Amino acid sequence: MMKPIFQTGNNILSNTAATICQRLRKVIKFKETGFTLVEVLLSATVVAYAAVFIFGAFFKSLSAIDHARDRLNVMNTCHNELLNIKYMLENDKIDMPYTKSGKFRTSGKVYGYKIGLKRDESREGLCNAASLFNWREGNKDIEIKRYFVWPVKKREKDQRH
């Protein structure tokens, strides 16, 4: 016979309570092999933090790709404009000092540029070229400045002076 847990005058009640407690112990022992609520919540938190970091890195890399594409667009346009100006300069189609500015649109963004040339007074036969390209990326204004020194042939009218 089972020893009653609760000492009351009614042994049936004590035996029933003891039986319920034994059954609960079996159920609790069975559940001890699974995960507790704290363990499940902790592991869900760790997985959520990992997902946030992974997605953050993913979106940051997408932003870096967009920025690299913008720089590439600007550098290609800069290169083409400077080659065009250099060709006009070599064929006496422009006079110095020379400035050109404007805007162009690529991939839905508007880019501004300004290019300037002037003779280098300290060095004979050279000119200084400067280019400035700017655009808006999100809430930041981006600028790229480039400076060049080009050889310039002397013009006949310059040689007369």
pLDDT tens string 81-104? 888 888 888 887 888 888 888 888
Fold of 37-160: S-adenosyl-L-methionine-dependent methyltransferases (2.20.130)
Strands (E), the chain: 98-106, 109-119, 126-137, 140-151
- pLDDT at residue 144 tops 80: yes
- pLDDT at residue 159 tops 80: no
Domain ranges of the chain: 1-34, 37-160
Strand partners, 128: 118, 149
